[in-house]
Amino acid sequence: MKVNVFTIRLLSEKFVSDQKFLNDFLETVEFIKSDVHLVEGEVNYWSVLIHFEEKKRATKEPPKWEIREEDLRPAQFDLYIELKKWRTQKSVDDNVPSFMICHNSELLNVVVKQPKTLSDLRKIKGFGELKVENHGEEILAIVNPSDN
């Protein structure tokens, strides 16, 4: 357990900023308990002793909802490769980096969600109006080849 001492001055121009400093600190730690004492003198103030523990830092793991290549079934993986080939060719044709066409995560979501319409495609994260307008028909043609 650790401790930290704070002073909350009772002067109107200092009170709010002292209180904010204490509150900001409390947001960064696991609070255990506090002890307070009013100190009277030339300037009256509260002396606040905070008992705390450091917050545990969360380990950065990929979110459970995030789709990864290794989660794909074989047929889905084949479609993912087809979309990546299309993206590579499109980036060469348009003279832009491939990530500007579509990120891998966007392609993975397309593979899993199998959009049938431009409206379905717009519901996938990363597919705004411009991306759907520029690439939507081509993506749908790859995802749904029998619909052509």
DSSP secondary structure string for all residues of 14-73:
HHHHHHHHHHHHHTTEEEEEEEEEEE-SSS-EEEEEEEEEEPPPPP----TT---GGGS-
- pLDDT value of position 62: 56
**CATH architecture of residue range(s) 69-147:** Orthogonal Bundle (1.10)
- pLDDT value of position 57: 72
From first to last of the 148 residues of the chain, give the pLDDT tens digit.
Answer: 999 999 999 998 999 999 999 999 999 999 999 999 999 999 999 999 999 999 887 666 656 567 889 989 999 999 999 999 999 999 999 999 999 999 999 999 999 999 999 999 999 999 999 999 999 999 999 999 987 6
The tokens of 51 are what?
């008992």
Distance CA(49)–CA(1), nearest Å, equals 12
Distances (CA, A) of 41 to 38, 45, 108, 137: 10, 8, 67, 76
Q: Where are the domains of the chain?
A: 2-54, 69-147
